[in-house]
């Protein structure tokens, strides 16, 4: 009786194994049939299995881009602001350069005027000395009174001209001093604009570096 029971259990186990094997064969067969009916389905499953790491990398890349977008937007706004500042600085720097050039030209003109004024002053002084000498000589002659009076009037005129030249020289000197002070201020402003341009260039490089990242 025990042998019969053992044989029955063995037969039952064989049937279960056979049924399991048949079920697996059936699943494989159905899969093959499905692939034969729709070859793309099997190919798609294989591609999905292969592309899943790539898909994961794409998602990670998109997430990283989403994180970087606010930073890039901020960098872009900063770059645009610096660009506007640099444009204004370029315009101001061009005006400063033009003003400095005008001051250089004016300084040359004023220098020529001062030289001419000093020459006129020297000529007036020489003429005055000559007239004084002639006046002294004319007094020794009886008919020299009228000539002496004329010379004295001319001497007075030369003195007035000499005084006018002196005032003109002083005025030119003050003007040159004022222009030199303006030039110094312009040089300081120009240096400030150059520093702004340098900061803009560095900000531009930083923004471009962030954009590349």
Please, what are the domains in the chain? 89-212 (1.10.287)
pLDDT tens for residues 183-201? 777 777 777 777 777 777 7
Distances, alpha carbon 145 to alpha carbons 135, 136, 155, 186, in Å: 9, 11, 15, 61
Alpha helices in the chain (DSSP H): 2-37, 39-138, 144-212
User: pLDDT > 70: what percent of the chain?
Assistant: 61
**Neighbouring C-beta atoms of residue 200, cutoff 10 Å:** 20
Residue in the block written with tokens 């093959």: 32
Answer whether 0.85 is exceeded by the pTM: no
Degrees to nearest 5, angle at CA 45 with 40 and 46: 100
Structure-token pair, residue 82: 């610096």
Position 169 scores a pLDDT of 75
> Model confidence over 76-129: pLDDT tens digits?
777 777 767 766 767 766 776 777 777 778 778 777 877 777 787 777 778 777
**Choice between 72 and 19, residue whose per-residue pLDDT is larger:** 72
- pLDDT-wise least confident of 22-26, 93-97, 105-109, 146-150: 22-26
User: What pLDDT score was predicted for residue 99?
Assistant: 74
């Amino acid at each position: 009786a025990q042998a019969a029971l053992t044989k029955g259990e063995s037969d039952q186990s064989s049937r279960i194994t056979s049924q399991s094997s048949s079920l697996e064969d059936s699943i494989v067969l159905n899969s093959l049939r499905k692939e034969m009916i729709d070859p793309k389905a099997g190919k798609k499953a294989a591609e999905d299995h292969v592309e899943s790491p790539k898909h994961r990398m794409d998602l990670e890349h998109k997430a990283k881009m989403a994180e970087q977008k606010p930073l890039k937007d901020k960098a872009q706004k900063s770059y645009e602001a610096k660009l506007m500042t640099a444009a204004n600085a370029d315009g101001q720097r061009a005006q400063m350069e033009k003003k400095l050039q005008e001051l250089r030209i004016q300084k040359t003109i004023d220098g020529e005027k001062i030289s001419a004024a000093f020459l006129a002053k020297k000529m007036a002084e020489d003429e005055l000395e000559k007239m004084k000498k002639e006046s002294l000589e004319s007094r020794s002659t009886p008919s020299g009174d009228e000539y002496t009076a004329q010379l004295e009037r001319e001497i007075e005129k030369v003195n007035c001209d000499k005084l006018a030249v002196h005032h003109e020289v002083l005025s030119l000197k003050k003007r040159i001093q004022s222009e030199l002070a303006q030039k110094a201020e312009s040089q300081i402003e120009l240096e400030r604009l150059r520093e702004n341009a340098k900061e803009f260039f560095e900000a531009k490089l930083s923004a471009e570096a962030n954009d590349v990242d």
